[in-house]
């Protein structure tokens, strides 16, 4: 089964690809906004703790399961359990989650291409503040642009994944990730000299205790799962292309460090830019699609900066969509032995089609009617279901499986294989067994309203 699946050319290849999966819209758009909303510095510290104590141990578990079985999620759980074990469903849930997330993630990624085109055409400079704001609303009610860019982004994703592990995913990650890092670093340096930099650092790093609610802990935890691409087998799948002499703890730690570094750097661009031009830290998609273009329109060098900014987000999004597509692709290859090309084209087309209602959510077609009925558009529903439920549930199950179901001797031996950091095992296991699951259960208690029922008002 596991022959000829492909492997990474080197440890660096794995780290860049996995960091590519982790670094995405979650870092550049979602993280700054979540930080701003939940009290800046304190949220930041809690987020770091979530990454360190919950996210990183689960990431190591995923990579371990993948490296050990050299298989994508469904086959991995099938190999490790009895026939017809319910754990195999966990693998299928990963495939489904990947499918669902990709269907709307590609829509947002498509918006970044639209904005890149606007930036190249110098539309921001020539427009008033009001009309720049209106550009986003105009995009939202333009079905052709939404579906078109969604199609384009899915096309790019499929084109990379068809190339396979080394010639597709690794090759592109090696180009896109360093470029992304350099572009972001250049933007940070530029922002240090902006008027709003001081305010921005105070906003991000100073503890604003009054905005920090207990529920902020939960949003920090959710954010860390999403940002590290955990709970749906992306890290498991990427781990399955590792050779057994590449260590798990150190490679995973690199991915988590890079992901957190990029999120921090993104905050140090988004907020200085917004604040320097007298704007509020607007919540939601508006932050990068409304406020930032307005700021660029008023900045010296704004033309070039705008282009760099949107290229950067598009790159970040592409390396994430690749990993989502790869989970689906490799699962069908491993299960049925179908050719990669066919699986990619068919599943990519299916994901594109399923994403169309999300692409139309901003307009009146699906969005309008569903919103009227349920208060949420189709896009909101898929986003909510996957991020608030499926990822945490997947993460919880992976932690329990690796922490309790997997045989102790096997687990220990696998963890220690190929690394000089074997002693980390003694810290990793209790975190995986108790801290991770407890944290996720707390999130569920909150999002299901159970805490409120118990009279705890988070």
Q: Which two tokens stand for residue 358?
A: 């999300």
Backbone angles phi, psi at 339, to 5 degrees: -65, 140
Distance, CA of 272 to CA of 378 (rounded, Å): 33
Distance, CA of 385 to CA of 194 (rounded, Å): 39
Nearer to ligand PHE, 91 or 418 (CB): 91
Tell me if 234 contacts ligand PHE by CB under 6 A: yes
- In 3D space, the residue among 443, 437, 440 whose CA is nearest the CA of residue 404 turns out to be 437
Whether the Cβ atoms of residue 322 and residue 160 lie closer than 8 Å to each other:
yes
* Interface segment toward ligand PHE; rule CB under 6 A; list 25-33, 41-49, 59-67, 173-181: 25-33
Nearer to ligand PHE, 26 or 57 (CB): 26
Whether the Cβ atoms of residue 359 and residue 147 lie closer than 8 Å to each other:
yes
Tell me if 24 contacts ligand PHE by CB under 6 A: yes
Distance, CA of 260 to CA of 280 (rounded, Å): 24
Distance, CA of 162 to CA of 157 (rounded, Å): 9
Chain-centroid distance of CA 331 in Å reads 20
Tell me if 173 contacts ligand PHE by CB under 6 A: no
Tell me if 184 contacts ligand PHE by CB under 6 A: no
Nearer to ligand PHE, 328 or 429 (CB): 328
Distance, CA of 238 to CA of 17 (rounded, Å): 8
Query: Least distance to ligand PHE from the beta carbon of 206, Å?
Result: 25
Site string for ligand PHE, 292-321 (x = CB under 6 A): ----------------------------x-
Tell me if 106 contacts ligand PHE by CB under 6 A: no
Query: Least distance to ligand PHE from the beta carbon of 321, Å?
Result: 8
- Binder of ligand PHE out of 216, 267, 323, 402 (CB under 6 A): 323
Q: Which two tokens stand for residue 98?
A: 């990947």
- Binder of ligand PHE out of 13, 16, 17, 21 (CB under 6 A): 21
3-state SS of 378-389?
HHHHHHHHHHHH
- Binder of ligand PHE out of 324, 351, 429, 431 (CB under 6 A): 324
Judged by CB under 6 A, the number of residues near ligand PHE is 15
Give the binding site for ligand PHE (CB under 6 A).
Answer: 21-22, 24-27, 101, 226-227, 229, 232, 234, 320, 323-324
């Amino acid at each position: 089964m596991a022959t000829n699946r492909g492997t990474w050319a080197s440890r660096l290849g794995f780290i860049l690809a996995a960091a590519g999966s982790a670094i995405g819209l979650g870092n550049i758009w979602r993280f700054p906004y979540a930080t701003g909303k939940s009290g800046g510095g304190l949220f930041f510290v809690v987020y770091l703790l979530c990454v360190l104590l919950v996210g990183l141990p689960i990431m190591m578990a995923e990579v371990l399961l993948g490296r050990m079985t050299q298989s994508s999620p469904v086959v991995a759980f099938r190999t490790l359990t009895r026939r017809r074990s319910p754990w195999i469903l966990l693998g299928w849930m990963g495939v489904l989650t990947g499918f669902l997330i990709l269907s709307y993630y590609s829509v947002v990624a498509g918006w970044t291409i639209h904005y890149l085109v606007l930036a190249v055409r110098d539309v921001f400079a020539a427009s008033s503040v009001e009309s720049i704001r209106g550009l986003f609303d105009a995009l939202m009610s333009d079905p052709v642009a939404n579906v078109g860019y969604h199609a384009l982004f899915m096309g790019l994703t499929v084109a990379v994944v068809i190339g396979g592990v080394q010639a597709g995913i690794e090759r592109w990650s090696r180009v896109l990730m360093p470029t992304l890092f350099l572009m972001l670093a250049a933007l940070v340096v530029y922002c240090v000299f902006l008027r709003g930099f001081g305010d921005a650092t105070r906003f991000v790093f100073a503890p604003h205790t009054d905005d920090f609610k207990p529920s902020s802990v939960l949003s920090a935890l959710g954010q860390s799962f999403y940002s590290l691409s955990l709970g749906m087998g992306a890290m498991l799948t990427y781990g399955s292309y590792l050779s057994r002499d590449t260590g798990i703890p150190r490679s995973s730690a690199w991915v988590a460090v890079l992901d957190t570094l990029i999120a921090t750097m993104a905050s140090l661009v988004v907020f200085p830019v917004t604040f320097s031009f007298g704007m509020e830290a607007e919540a939601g998609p508006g932050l990068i699609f409304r406020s930032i273009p307005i700021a660029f329109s008023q900045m010296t060098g704004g033309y070039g900066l705008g282009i760099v900014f949107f290229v950067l987000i598009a790159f970040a999004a592409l390396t994430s969509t690749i990993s989502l597509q790869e989970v689906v692709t490799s699962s069908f290859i491993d299960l049925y032995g179908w050719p990669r090309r066919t699986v990619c084209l068919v599943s990519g087309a299916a994901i594109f089609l399923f994403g169309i209602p999300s692409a139309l959510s901003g307009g009146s077609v699906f969005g309008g009617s569903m919103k009227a009925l349920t208060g949420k558009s189709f896009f909101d529903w898929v986003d909510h279901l996957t991020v608030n439920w499926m990822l945490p549930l997947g993460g919880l199950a992976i932690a329990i499986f690796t922490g309790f179901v997997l045989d102790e001797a096997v687990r220990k031996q696998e963890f220690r294989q190929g690394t000089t950091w074997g002693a980390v095992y003694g810290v990793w296991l209790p975190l995986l067994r108790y801290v991770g699951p407890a944290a996720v259960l707390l999130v569920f208690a909150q999002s299901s309203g159970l805490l409120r029922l118990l009279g705890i008002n988070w």
